[in-house]
Chain A
Amino acid sequence: MNDFNFMIGFKPQDSGEVCLTALSEEAQVELYNRMHSEFEGSDLEEGLKGAWFAEFTPAYCTNCDNCGEKFFLLEKNGDVYSCVRGQGNPDFYYGNIYTDSVEDILSTAKTKIYLAHNRQGIEEECISCSHLHLCKTGCPFVKNVYQSPKSYTCLLQKQLYKDNDYGEAPENFLYCYMLKNHPDGAEKYYKPRVGPNSLPDLILRDPKLQAVYDPEAFVLSVDGEEYALRSQLLKTERDYIFIGKKSSIKIYIKKEAMDALSDYPVNNALYMMLLSGDTVVYGDEQREKQAHIMTHQIFKGVLESNESDKEGYYCADIGPLLALYGNKLSGTRSNNLFFTTTAMREYHYTKHKNNAYYHFNAMNLPFQNIELYYIDFEQEEE
Chain B
Amino acid sequence: MFNEIKPKTYNDAVRLARCHELRKYVPAISEDELEKIFWFLSRDKGNSIIIADSTLSYNWPNGKTSEAVPVNTNGGISFTALKVSTTLFTAGTINANLGGDGFVASNNNNNNNG
Contacts and interface: CB of A to CB of B under 8 A. Distances in A.
Interface of A: 107-108, 110-112, 114-115, 118-121, 172, 175-176, 179-180, 183-184, 186-187, 190, 192-195, 198-200, 223, 225, 232-242, 244, 246, 273, 275, 277, 279, 283, 285, 287-290, 292, 334, 336, 338, 345, 348-349, 352, 362-365, 367, 369, 371, 373, 375, 377-382
A179 B81 contact: yes
26 contacts: A111-B55, A111-B70, A176-B96, A179-B80, A180-B52, A183-B81, A184-B63, A187-B81, A192-B101, A232-B106, A232-B107, A233-B103, A235-B103, A236-B94, A237-B93, A237-B94, A240-B18, A240-B89, A242-B17, A285-B110, A336-B107, A363-B110, A363-B111, A377-B10, A380-B8, A380-B9
Interface in B43-76: 48, 50, 52-55, 57, 59, 62-65, 67-70
A2 to B, nearest CB: 38
A110 B111 CA distance: 44
Interface of B is mostly: mixed
Contacts of A369: 106
Chain A residues touching B, majority SS? mixed
Contact of A273 (B68, B81, B108, B114): B114
Contact-size category for B: 35 or more
B90 interface: yes
Choose among B10, B13, B21, B87 the residue with the greatest number of A CB atoms under 10 Å from its CB.
B10
Contacts of B64: 118-121
Nearest to B68: A115
Given A111-B70, A364-B109, A380 B103 contact: no
B11 interface: yes
Given A179-B81, A237-B93, A290 B52 contact: no
